Structure 1
Amino acid sequence: AEASYRTAKADYDFQSNIALNRELQQAQAEVQTAQVDFQHTQNQLRALGSSEQNLQRDDHSKDASIALVRAPLAGVVTERKFNAGAGIDAASPLFSISNLSSVYVIANVPESNVGKLVIGSVAEIRSNSAGTFNGRISYIDPRLDEATRTARVRLEVPNPQGRLRAGTFTEVGFYTGTNSETGEELVVPSGAIQREGDKTIVFVPKDDEPGAYEIREVEIGGEMEGYTAIKSGLKLGEKVVSKGSFTLKTQMQKGEMGEHGH
């Protein structure tokens, strides 16, 4: 009987070891497959420009349920696409991120005015909640909306303090001080603009009288990147004094310009 017991136990242990070895081999194969998938994902992230720091494994020593999610760019989270505790499928977007240091403003411009605009022209953007900004036209849609007879015009607007938010309603004023033949916009260095009472003036050098300047009243538009748009009072190609214009203004106020300025 004892011999039969030993034989049966040996057979049982043998069969158990076969089952354990089969499960162990299966688990080892799954680990190897997971390692290959992990390395493949890392290579894909490297190909997309992710840094080595972003590829480091998360520290799960304190809480294995927390995973660090790194954004591919800096910005502000503007939309969350899931609820806490929800399951997430692979490749599903989690958040929308926007960099609001520079924003696009879309204006619907009537058909009759689109032809007066050129890419690069200055525009003034006004918001009741955020204030006034200056921007430049970066794109003019060649198509018209058949219902409204307007074209979409895109403006790039610096927004360093983030005052303009996505979805903000704005009013846009375009400065069309351009040459209809060349499409060039009339702008001058902002340092050339001076104030004299309620007038805005520039100093224009006289071609036939060296050292003499004409005081010209102008109507200005928006300012951007150190340049101010001129709506009227100057012609394309005319020169103005930029450096030293404040000195000329001081001399004018003291009456030192005499016959040289009028």
Structure 2
Amino acid sequence: MAEQKEESIMDKITEKFHHDDSSSSDSDDEKSSPSTVKSAVYRLFGREKPVHKVFGGGKPADVFLWRNKKISAGVLGGATAIWVLFELLEYHLLTLVCHCLILSLAILFLWSNATTFINKSPPRIPEVNIPEDVVESIALSLRFEINRAFAILRDVASGRDLRKFLAVIAGLWVLSIVGSCCNFLTLFYIVFVLLHTVPVLYEKYEVQVDSFAEKAMAELKKQYAVFDAKVLSKIPRGPLKDKKKV
């Protein structure tokens, strides 16, 4: 009987060891699972969605990421033609609109009068009306973006985040330098071309760009820590007084 008890105790101990080993191996597998490894990978600007979802996931994202090469090439070619027409040939917008209206009205007028000689009914000119819901949606979207920009500027000016303040000041300074080198149309065209080239290249070389951005951000944080220790920490600041309401 004593030997049977000892054997049962030993069996329980070995089963417990096997159970612990299996649970530890399961926990190791969970730690090294692709989802946890994927979440630990650095992403540019801290994004969690694919590039296509970041751009909205609709037709604009398909155009920017060249899902349909014909449409993307047509949009980029049209923007290039407009830039060449207005910037290089120095054509004016009002002149272009007037010339297009003159040409279209002359063609329709001559076509309508020519039908009396060829015994055909004149072409029916369609009625063009701008839908009210489209105008309202555009106005609401524009209002939302303007209010968000005002909220960001107010948050920056409140003095709560020095790093954000310095980043906004540096961005505006760079934008002012770029604006002094080219006019608004050229700047708009440059941004348009960048939107059609940078996202698709980033999506293609995502891993390499993210690894380089991780190293760059680590270096920037290191330099900011040095700047904070040598300069920002030595700036005198007044004591903060808590105002209590009686």
TM over 0.5: no
TM-score, normalised to structure 1, is: 0.21
Q: Higher strand share goes to which structure? A: 1
Structure number with higher helix proportion: 2
